[in-house]
Amino acid sequence: MRRIFLLRHGKTEWNGQFRYQGKSDVPLNEEGRLQAQRAALRLTSLDIDAIYASPLSRAKETAHIVSRTLGVPIKGFYEELCEMNFGAWEGLTAPDIERSYAESFRLWRRNPEKVKIPKGESFTEVVERVTCGMKKILNDAGENILVVAHGGSIRAALAGLFAMDISASWRIRIDNCSLTSMELGSDRVMLAFANDTLHLLVDDEGLVPNLPVLV
């Protein structure tokens, strides 16, 4: 049975300010780099044999940190794995958006698949492109696959792989540098765990390469 691990990138300054990032190329901050290092150590026990990532710098740097620690090269950066394009909302906080785009923001919070963000994407479009990217990866990769992406694109991957209701997939919490895992059999996909951040709860002196894995 093949395993897929979905890793959200580490924290950025905009994450700390609760700003919508989307396609804006915001880099990791120091906390985000430490989170990526902790995630990398967690992954050392999982026999990862293929790494793929979004080309946005926050995901790319997270993937490089993991790659160096595991000694596993990154096989590709896929545009399909990029975060949702939030268009006119990028760089804004939720209160900013609510003031300027009240009606569409309220609908977005209830049914994100029904909203086409000004100058951006709908979540339905994100699911379509991420599903396309995941199909390419699954046709190419090995048994234990790591995909480094974003909160929105990870939710989109789950929606595509599980044929989930799109609106429901956006209600899955995906924290910075959290791990989500699935097992792929010949005829079904099973969720092993979601939004696992155990590796981020260890203090700096407690970092070890064999933290427990919930599989």
Average of per-residue pLDDT across 155-177 = 92
Q: Contact at 8 Å (CB) between 3 and 138? A: no
Backbone angles phi, psi at 48, to 5 degrees: -65, 130
Q: Contact at 8 Å (CB) between 25 and 44? A: no
Average of per-residue pLDDT across 149-165 = 95
Average pLDDT, rounded, for the chain: 92
Confirm whether 121 is a catalytic residue.
no
pLDDT per residue over 196-210, tens digit each? 999 999 765 555 444
Confidence of residue 214 (pLDDT cuts 50, 70, 90): very low
pLDDT per residue over 111-138, tens digit each? 888 899 999 999 999 999 999 999 999 9
Q: One of 61, 83, 90, 113 is an active-site residue; which one?
A: 83
Q: Which two tokens stand for residue 82?
A: 């990029």
Q: Is 18 exposed, middle or buried (0-12, 13-18, 19+ CB in 10 A)?
A: exposed
pLDDT per residue over 7-56, tens digit each? 999 999 999 999 999 999 999 999 999 999 999 999 998 999 999 999 99
- Nearest partner of 42 among 201, 205, 194, judged by Cα: 201
Question: pTM to 2 decimals?
Answer: 0.92
Distance of CA 56 to the CA centre of its chain: 12
The CA distances from residue 169 to 7, 75, 94, 175, in Å, are 16, 27, 20, 14
Distance (Å, whole) CA 66 – CA 62: 6
Confirm whether 199 is a catalytic residue.
no
